Amino acid sequence: MFDLDGTLLPVREIFDGTIGRTKDYLKSVTDLDDELDNRFEDALAAAHRAVSVNPDKLWRHVLNTLAREYSGIDESRIANSIGILMQAYTQIPRVYPEVVDTLNKFRSQGYGLWLVSHKLKSWLRSNLENTALGNFFETGKNAYATDVDRPKDEIAWLEAFGYFGIGLQESAVTGDGVFQDIWPAYKIKVGRIYYVSRGDNNWKIFGNSSNELPPGVKTIKNLTEMESDFE
């Protein structure tokens, strides 16, 4: 069972682009300087804790926080900024290079493939239908979107397992989110757990750090490194 963003798809690079363009826009229409760079990420982390990942709520929360701290960010500039940020959800991410080969090997060996993603169903469907992952996963069948208005925690993972009708002990969870994938899988006693640490997916809002892993979790740099465990 796989997480999607940061595990199979490098969506961080898409958000880095839209967030960068948003900060450039705000700097161009106000007297803000490079201090905005750190404050934006702090505001994003606070918004994630407060409203999870629902984009309609997340980015409004971020911009409202910044507007309270800095003069010059009025409602029109908030709306323009949200418009830039929402462009991320129309972009099609690439797939990490090794993913298709690994999924093909697992499928050819008879292993079931499942996907659990913390994103809007419409965006999940688009990500699958417009990438090679659509050859392995289908929304509503073996791809499940957790509730974007609440955390991707033990409850979310248990709901996914229940939806798929598969057991915990005979399953393996692979993800890049320490507190969204790894710890929840450990707490509900999934059989095997793999933490994907690619080096490009450590994002402050998710608190990713291999030093915070529960015992028994195997750290891998890519999906190829888990193949030998399933031969």
User: Is the confidence at residue 203, as pLDDT, over 90?
Assistant: no
Considering the four listed CATH numbers 1.25.40.10, 3.40.50.920, 3.40.50.1000, 3.40.50.1100, the one that applies to the domain covering 99-230 is 3.40.50.1000
Separation CA 17–CA 87 (nearest Å): 10
Residues 6 or more apart from 78 whose CB is under 8 A from it?
60, 63, 64, 67
Which sequence spans correspond to the domains of the chain? Answer: 12-90, 99-230
Quick one: DSSP state of residue 86? G
Burial of residue 75 (number of CB atoms within 10 Å: 0-12, 13-18, 19+): exposed
User: Is the confidence at residue 110, as pLDDT, over 80?
Assistant: yes
**Tens-digit pLDDT profile for residues 116-145:** 999 999 999 999 999 999 999 999 999 999
3-state secondary structure at position 174:
strand
User: Is the confidence at residue 201, as pLDDT, over 90?
Assistant: no
Q: What is the mean pLDDT of residues 199-227?
A: 79
User: Is the confidence at residue 206, as pLDDT, over 80?
Assistant: no
**Tens-digit pLDDT profile for residues 49-87:** 999 999 999 999 999 999 998 888 999 999 999 999 999
Separation CA 21–CA 19 (nearest Å): 5
According to DSSP H, which parts of 70-153 are helical? 75-85, 99-108, 121-129
Q: What is the mean pLDDT of residues 4-18?
A: 94
What single-letter amino acid sits at 46?
A: A
